[in-house]
Structure 1
Amino acid sequence: MLYLDNAATTPPYEEVVTTVADVMRQHYGNPSSIHRLGMDAQKLVSRAREVIGSVLHVKPTELIFTSGGTESSNLAIKGAAYRYRNRGSHLITTAIEHASVTAAFEQLEAEGFTVTILPVDDTGAVTLEQLQAAVTDETILVSVMHVNNEMGRIQPIAEIGRWLRGRRTVLFHVDAVQGVGKLPLHPAEMGIDLMSASAHKFKGPKGAGFLYKREGIELYPLLAGGGQEHGMRSGTENVPLIVGMAKALRLATEHLQADIQRKRAFRDIVADGIRSMPELMLTGSAEPAHMAPHLLHFCYPGMNSEVVVHALEQRGIYISTKSACSSGVPEASKVLLAMGFDKQRASSGLRVSWTEEHSESDAHRFVGELRQVIDELVPVTLADKGGRKR
């Protein structure tokens, strides 16, 4: 089996699986309890906060533990919008955000907020100039993802953060679910005020995530209750998953630069292979530094992308079409449409994603199997609905 759908989820480190199981068995106390078992559990939570804070170069007290990326982004976006509505009601995001971000803004718009959606160019990037033109005196929040989860374009986060630093009434949220653990990310240094992350994207457990909240920022809590997580996220902390998440992030970033080089080498092989197949078309920027090292996206115009996914699955290779959160929806990709693709191309996207553990031989195997699948399939074009053999 060759699993190449790591942008959807990653297999956890064996050390993380062991750690989560050990904590479940030995440290089952409620971290809010005042007895020894509770205090031991709270120490583990505090230590996990310190580990993650060290990796991100932020204060441990600036981290809020959540159930994952969706909750983190909703808390950041809605929590900031509700808390600072007295300053203004204008929000800015982009046309290529993850569904958890897009849906949060749609809900806020229905509640009376004004939302500006920034377009992207044909490589999938927003520009600082577009953002600058969109900001008004009423703007209270800007949300731009770090790495697009579908086609891997890295957004100019640091550039945007530097510009927004001079506008202290405008908060900057970044959905970094596809970036944390894969690329260097230091939110405080990049001008980020709020940043979402999810453990299962960097070989941690599902159901755990965190939100970085810069010191001094206030959020309206979305969950009322016992006041855990500095009053920002009520509910008993999931100690085993929190500890597992911290361990996974530490492991994922121990040899980050070397891992990035290995991933880029894998990407180069796959990209060259796809360029050699005239039926296929790479998406994103031609500049490697603009693209995530762990992800590659391409289109097969005229071919239903699910057909390719299942054909490769029969050969023991697992890839995906769109984001895992929307891949079951039989519609053209909103990300590709936003990049200017026509509906046919936007319906034919395929995503390949890997980890540092994948070898160059894995990359060559994928290219070889993909080539055989492409040779066996006959695409349907708009000019010839019945298809035509090449």
Structure 2
Amino acid sequence: MPWQTLTRPLRRHPVRPPDSGIARRKSIWERIHIDPWLLGLLLILMAGGLLVLYSASGQRIEAVIAQAMRFGVALAGMAFLAQLSPTTFLRWAPFAYGAGVVMLLAVEIAGDIGMGAKRWLEIPGVIRFQPSEMMKLAVPLMVAAYLNRCQLPPRLKDIVVCAVIIGLPVVLTAIQPDLGTSLLVASAAVIVVLLAGLSWRLIGFVAALLAACVPLLWMNMHNYQRQRVLTFLDPESDPLGSGWNIIQSTTAIGSGGLWGKGWLEGTQSQLEFLPERHTDFIIAVLGEEFGLVGMLILLALYLMIVGRGLWLAASSQDTFGRLFAGSIILTFFIYVFVNVGMVSGILPVVGVPLPLVSYGGTSSVTLLAGFGILMSIHAHRRLLPR
């Protein structure tokens, strides 16, 4: 009976002393504003990434050391950003966005050219970085800061303003040319707008408008970008040319079977049949050497990171925190989905690295900076009264 349950004597549980080891460890994590579960998952992912990178880079320990140093810098940046209050990010959003747009303009004027594209800024002897990577955080940050001052769900004029905020850096990135990064920047900011509570009618209208713009987009694409789309539809049409990458990647993944050929034992990667094996196509190396089981473990690790990130984002009680934190973790999921999709042949090749596994510095710093902001939003959340 319910009344019997209510009147049942309460059990006395032993009270844990306040100076116990468990309580002390928990308070330490709270004081430094770091989520230990998310940090642990990220460290496991980065350690596995270094293991695969050693094989994918042709067993060059120099590449692994360089990547590990980048991870160290990125982790330090993550820890620093986790200490800042979300109001700091809200206040500095316009300055971060403006600085990013200025750097994108600087790329057009005096950018460093590599692999046929002008995407980098270089300070000789100091640093070489890709400003468009930073816009993956700066643009959604600016959109979230703007919507934080608006009545939600956003009205039409607010959506127009957001479209302008998003459109300027996306266009500047696309003309570098870097279609993949421009789409990721746009998707990160659009997620913020969607989380703000758009009506399904408006979402349908925007989707129809974008579909109508596809012919215009096709006409303004570079020849190699059009070829990527055509290759995606029929890779065998040019097996020794534009179809080479996707054919070799799917061959590498398929040849790994269930358990893989073993670490450092891949043929497609070690014999250099697989292009860009240490960057965009590194998951094909993992699939060949560790098989389906290895890929499933990696995907499960990514899903646990996304799940933990969503839990942290959902704990925020203010508009800015929910919008920006949700965008950070959902954009991370999009990175993983796009890379795995393009390497396995279900999406066109757009040059998106595998998060925290592919070789690269700017991307790693940007991703971990986003996780640092996510931890900050969770640590500084306003608790609702009971």
TM range (shorter): under 0.3
Structure in which a larger fraction of residues adopt helix: 2
Structure whose alpha-carbon radius of gyration is higher = 2
Structure in which a larger fraction of residues adopt strand: 1
User: TM-score, with normalisation over the residues of structure 1?
Assistant: 0.27
Which structure is richer in relative contact order (CA contacts within 8 A, separation 6 or more)?
2
User: TM-score, with normalisation over the residues of structure 2?
Assistant: 0.27
